[in-house]
Structure 1
Amino acid sequence: MTTSTKEKAEELLQQILSESTPEDEEVLMHLLDGLRDKQTGFHHRYINAALHMTGEFYPDHSIIRIPITPVIHNTIKLPHGGILATIADAAMGELAARSIEPGKNVVTTNLHINYLATTTNKELIAKGSFVNKGRRMLVMECVIEDETGKKLATATATFFVIEPRK
């Protein structure tokens, strides 16, 4: 008899739990909670669910938040630079997407990030805003801080307006 994906997942989960550290269990719970949020419709994208990303969107700016947990740590137990780039892209890209004509999409054509500091605090906060809002291209900027207001990075990006794929 062929083993189903669900059976393989259950077996793997049991193996992981039998060998887990407290940090492994924290990470597993974080990821499972995120997956549950995706299943219930709280998140629409797996990446947002996995990162526990939340957002606030206004006409001229956005605020994206993610908790700092071992899920996003690099090898020296600090938030990974790629995660900072990801939330900067999310803050700017979602704001850009909400500002264009209904039925269109945006894609990132350029992203530049300057890393300024690290943090061991509890939350990453990305604040996106417009630099220039054209009909076909939007230039955005973002500041990433922790919950104390410590500036961790700045980013700029260009987004191109496209027709959705059929």
Structure 2
Amino acid sequence: MPGPPPVTLSLNGSSTQLVPGRQVEEVDPGRDDGSKVELLKGAANGDKEKEYWRVTNEEGVQYYFGMDRLPGWASGKAETNSAWSVPVYGNHPNEPCHQASYANSVCDQVYRWNLDYVVDLRGNAMTYWYGKERNHYGSNVTREGKSTNRAYDRGGWLSGSRTACAATTCSRPPRPRWSSTSTSAA
């Protein structure tokens, strides 16, 4: 069975491939700049394994990718939409989505973790918010032509950012900078 899929980190104008570290949760940047890269679990971001990333640079600034629910999030509050997922089939026994039947061996896994939260040593924070392009395809097609509708995140865009907020108050999205309605003076 092949190893983990290649993951590329793009941050602050440079990109590097991440190399599996000594422990499962540890990952080292291919170009070592002193940053600590961690694959964490516990995000409610649509991923079966609830994975998200934290990168801590040498100055102690922490960058979070794919959290979706920021610190201070509560039911009814907005999510950043920073984790984009697709349905994945697990056809081997040790794969996360694997079930007894192939038709049931499907789950959503994140393929792109976008930057959604940055916090410095003083507790100053920034947040990034995204819009998603959703699409659908048919899976488990039968001889009769019936299929199961599967939604996935085709892509998306940065819809806004919020800067200069305290780490504990960044859980609301930025205000729109423009309005689709206009008024005219007579």
Highest CA radius of gyration, 1 or 2? Answer: 2
Structure 1 or 2: more strand by fraction? 2
Could you state the TM-score of these two structures normalised by the residue count of structure 2?
A: 0.27
TM-score (norm 1): 0.29
Structure richer in helix, relative to its length: 1
Which of the pair has the greater relative contact order for Cα pairs under 8 Å at 6+ separation? 1
